[in-house]
Amino acid sequence: MLSANFDELLPIIQEEINSGGEVRFKPRGRSMLPFLMEGRDEVVLVKPPERLKKYDIPFYRRRDGGFVLHRVVGFCPDGRYIMCGDNQYLREKGIGHDQIIGLVKAVYRKGKYIPSEAPFYRVWGALWPKVMWCRGFLPRAYRKIKRTLFK
């Protein structure tokens, strides 16, 4: 198994994406739950367009050097992006287009290919950010119902 960090792989990733290729990897962390689950799902990155759209999921580098995969939930007055993970409440403002490395073109969920144009993907992307106020409640309610019904 090959093990490397994104700092080491970034030139290779950027070269592949900028030449029109794709990069596939398993994201780590919990910030995009329940849409993306660490260890289960994979994402396919492609070259981003000149301007991202609301609900796109870019892979970007923060000014502090960290790499992040979050959803575009809005735009700042100066045109920069506002990002938020699906499992987060706080929005990250001021992400510049120069920080964007790639755009999620598709997801492999449990081995099944789901393109970003798929109805499930698009509905989820538009709906989930709108229920930010109840994100903590929904997963707990789901787990409680599941435990109750399937004891």
- Per-residue confidence in pLDDT tens, the chain, 151 aa: 455 677 888 999 999 999 999 999 999 999 998 889 999 999 999 999 999 999 999 999 999 999 999 999 999 999 999 999 988 888 999 999 999 999 999 999 989 999 998 988 888 888 777 776 666 666 677 778 878 887 6
> How many distinct structural domains can be found in the chain?
1
DSSP state of 114: E
Q: Report helix, strand or coil for 29.
A: coil
pLDDT of amino acid 1: 43
Is 74 a member of any domain?
yes
- The HSE-up count of residue 105 (CA atoms within 13 Å, CB side) is 15
pLDDT of amino acid 43: 97
Domain residue limits at 93: 6-149
- Residue 59 in tokens: 């892979």
Q: Which of 45, 11, 7 is nearest to 26 (CA)?
A: 45
Phi, psi of 32 (to 5 degrees): -110, 15
- Residue 124 in tokens: 């989820």
pLDDT of amino acid 150: 76
Q: Which amino acid is at 10?
A: L
pTM summary value: 0.83
Residue 19's domain is classified under what CATH number? 2.10.109.10
pLDDT of amino acid 17: 96
Is 1 a member of any domain?
no
pLDDT of amino acid 141: 77
